[in-house]
Structure 1
Amino acid sequence: MSGSALASPPDPRQRVTALDALRGVAVIGIAVMNVIAFSMPANAYLNPAVWGGTGPLETTLWTASYVLVEDKFRALFAMMFGAGVAILLGKGEHPARAHYARMAALLAIGMTHAVLLASNDVLRIYAVAGLLLPLAARWPARRLVWAAVLLVAGQLAVSGWYAWGWLDFWYQRASGALVDPAWIEVAERTYGGHPDTTAAAFARGEEGFAERIVRRIETLPAQANYIIASLPSALAAMLLGMAFWRNGLLAGEWQADRALRLARTCALASLPVLVVLAAWSILSGFDVIVTAANAIVWSAPFDIVLGVAYAALAMALFGGALNDSRATRVLAATGRLALTNYLATSLIFSALFASWGLGLFGEVSRGQALLLTLVPITAMLLCSAPWLARFRQGPMEWLWRSMSAARLQPFRRRQA
């Protein structure tokens, strides 16, 4: 979710159009990321062998998504959030107090979203990680970058230690050594396509709306583990967003050639590694251990680096060659309604895939699921600009601000 889209004030005279357009790209990317989670058993997000098939087309689509999309846009969203917090903490008489109120309101919205629509909601993570950002509000850009590097390195050291043990187990099995089959079952149940895991996923997909709410409320305490596990990488990306706002990249102050150099450097540092990891997963026959380790652990630092490349490239284009284009204006309007568009995407996917909608869960291929992302993407591109022509902010942006202020603020039309 795009934090600065949520956080920045609605007055267009104070906005950076290129940054708004970058948020628009980010909120479109979330649809591409989330469609598999809505349309298939959860482990299919990591591994196409779980559901949807591993034929040439499916493998190509999985590879493109793994290398270019998965977790790259999550990192980009978190960067935008960090930039938005940096903007807000520089405004107002009591910026820290207002910030904590906004994080509390965002957590409430995220928890509601998770219970009603999207189990993989990211707003909860951003709200919790955002509580720590005022501690870094006055740090210079260089210190923010190094703090992000240390967070990523620490997370990689911890998760890598566990992943290395699993990979040693995989290597022994691949070498023909006798291994405990119980461990294979654990891996398949956790990250693969074990029949019981897949059956449980389909049972959840068939439950009614009221049943889902009851189940998700009962599992609220377990969601803390998801939030805690996601904090280091999310916080690292947020710190990078604060750094790039402070050094002028996300404020639109860099020359296009400088931003393009950063994009090229980050792309060259990340894309070859991600391609190699994808090839390893494919050549292993999408072995559950290899594929999960590559998706969750080894790719994580390079996902963030490629997210930086996307941010730099977008700022160079939207602030340069495409500055006055219609495409930039449409994307900027989409980005300004990022919270509304993010939640509306979940509502549309639920209408398509949930049992209380069209019930297409498990009924579509990977390619068909990706094509269906055109439904929310088209809706947000067509509706955002007309909405902003009449109103100063989106409905969910208005709700968030009202909740943060502990009162319902007037929902204002745009003045002629």
Structure 2
Amino acid sequence: MESTITVPAASGSISHESPQPVALTERIQTIDVVRGMALLGILLMNIPFFGRAFQLENEPLLRPGSTDYNVYAVITILFEGKMRALFSMLFGAGILIFTGRKEATMGSSSADFYYRRLLWMVLFGVIHEYVLMWVGDILFDYAISALFLFPFRNLRPRQLLICALVCVAIGGIKRERSLLEFREKREKYLQTVTLEKTHKKLTDTQKKDKEAWEKVVKESKPDLKEVNEFNEKMRSGYGTVYKTLEPENIRFHSMYLYLGIWDNLCMMLLGMALFKWGFFSNKLPTRTYWMTLLAGYGIGLPVSAVGMFLMQQRLTDPALFADAQWISPALGYDFQRALVGIGHASVLLLLYRSGMVKWLMRALSNIGQMAFSNYILQTLCCTLFFNGYGLGNFGKLDYHQLYYVVGIIWIINLLFSAIWLQFFRFGPLEWGWRSLTYWQQQLMRKPVLS
């Protein structure tokens, strides 16, 4: 029989009083711990986009052996996509915690509160993107994705897993189409070049085919002139930064909702299944966590390394890649990042269970409990440090030097969370979000102990 866990009402019986947020005594600390780690880990992937031109995203791959290349390889293989996958899984688990407790307490559907909560999250995401100037916002995309998940909350874990795999397949097909388009551009280019050698006049379509491949080759290496122009704009005032990032925001989120919704849905559904199995709440045998750790790392890390190698080949020699490779760098992307993400969570849950480094578990739990506030705090720190309306350091640091900034922001997250939770029940944004969700001001301060 399939083992699942449920989220009971705090009192063990149905109450028809006004619904309230989860009490501190009801929080599942292991979920806060894993969420805290995932939130800190997400900054490892976000920092290059905060501090350097988008055209330099994969530029370290063009310089094998350099410090930047080595740091990029470690970050890509161990963390890229994995921490976001883990954060998405926990978001899925949070859906079950939220709806389960509401329905157990109220004895009726939690749809009203669920959708109100997500619609406020959509607004927060728009503010995060277009006011705080963070192109990589996930609040908006998570909220849109989660709008579809309410009907799935009562499915059994295996059913949720099947749904997750369907989403993985759809996302994978979309990614593989990009490789086919890439190879098609190469084939059309070769056909056009062959015609040129016979001194035949090219049609307008053939000229465009040739230009399309030449553009691919050109864009595989960053244009330093474009990079310098982008740097200058990002070191300017707020208005210039806004005008520079607005089209990027529109482009990124249009593309991400087309491709990324399947990414979000598959990981959220997987997180719902794992929560029902008891994975995140530390309910499984120790042996199971060792198995998920070994499987996650043993399979996921090699696949991740292969993906990075293929991406490097595609950048350094697009023609060779198109002619010789039939495997996309994104092949198995969702599988490897889910496996490695679960491996990271397994390490943390084993440490938690062992009772070791309790100070670290407490610190991560504080960050996870205030994940929303800490996520926005990271944005504020980065934009004020890098953008022109702050300290104007955009484009001034090498790739590896960006991670010194990450370390400092992690310390800020740790201190802020620890100090704030000494006096308050929620983070400041968590308090605002809950108050808006329940349309009632929530009690903020902790009681003073005499």
Q: 1:97 to 1:188 in 2, by over 3 A?
A: farther
For residue 97 of structure 1, report the CA deviation from its aligned partner: 1.2
Letter in 1 for 2:445: R
Matches within 5 A, 1:4-403: 9=21, 11-48=23-60, 54-92=64-102, 93=106, 94-115=109-130, 116-167=132-183, 181-187=210-216, 192-195=221-224, 197-199=226-228, 201-213=230-242, 222=251, 223-282=253-312, 286-287=316-317, 299-318=333-352, 320-322=353-355, 325-403=358-436
Gap change, CA 1:63 and 1:214, over 3 Å in 2 = closer
Aligned in 2, Cα 1:43/1:188: closer, same or farther, shift over 3 Å?
Answer: farther
Q: Cα distance, 1:108 vs. partner?
A: 0.7
- Displacement of 1:200 in angstroms is 5.5
The 1:44/1:215 distance shift into structure 2, 3 A limit, reads closer
- CA deviation profile, 1:221-276 (whole Å, cap 9, x unmatched): 55333323210011100001111110111122112221121121122221111112
SS at match of 2:101: coil
Q: Deviations over 1:186-215 (max 9, x none)?
A: 336766513565355335413421333456
Change (3 A) 1:104 1:20: same
Cα distance in structure 2, aligned partners of 1:59 and 1:302: 21
TM-score (normalizing by structure 2): 0.81
Q: CA deviation at 1:170?
A: 5.9
**CA displacement 1:341-364 (0-9 Å, x = unmatched):** 111001111121111111111110
Give unmatched runs, 5+ long, in structure 2.
Answer: 1-19, 197-208
Give 2:129's aligned amino acid.
A
Structure 1, unmatched stretches of 5+, are 1-7
C-alpha change, 1:328 and 1:186, in structure 2 (3 Å) is same
Number of the residue aligned with 1:4: none
| Conserved? CA contact 1:256–1:317, under 8 Å | no
Please list the CA deviations of residues 285-340 of structure 1 after superposition, one character each: whole Å capped at 9, or x if unmatched: 6446969x96656534322222222223322222x113671111111111111111
- 119-128 vs 218-227, which deviates more? 218-227
Deviation at 1:370, TM superposition (A): 1.2
Normalised TM-score (structure 1):
0.87
Between 1:87-96 and 1:185-194, the stretch displaced more is 185-194
Secondary structure, aligned partner of 2:300: helix
Q: Spell out, residue by residue over 1:90-131, the C-alpha distance to the aligned partner (whole angstroms, 9 max, x if none).
A: 022342211101100111111101112311101111100111
For these two proteins, the number of residue pairs brought into alignment is 403
1:101–1:404 contact (8 Å) kept in structure 2: yes
Q: 1:49 & 1:199 partners in 2: Cα distance?
A: 20
The equivalent residue for 1:5 is none
Whether contact under 8 Å (2:135, 2:249) holds in the other structure is no
Contact kept in structure 2, 1:152 and 1:232, CA below 8 Å: yes
Tell me how far apart the structure 2 counterparts of residues 287 and 358 of structure 1 sit (CA, whole Å). Answer: 38
| Residue pair 2:120, 2:436 contacting (<8 A) in 1 also | yes
Does the aligned pair in 1 maintain the 2:133–2:245 contact within 8 Å?
A: no
Answer whether contact 1:18 1:332 (CA < 8 A) is retained: yes
Provide the identity percentage.
24
Distance change >3 Å, CA 299–CA 309, structure 1 → 2: same
Which piece of structure 1 moves more, 304-313 or 128-137?
304-313
- Name which one, 1 or 2, has greater alpha-carbon Rg: 2
Is the 2:168–2:262 Cα contact (8 Å) retained in structure 1? yes
Distance 1:44 1:338 in 2: 29
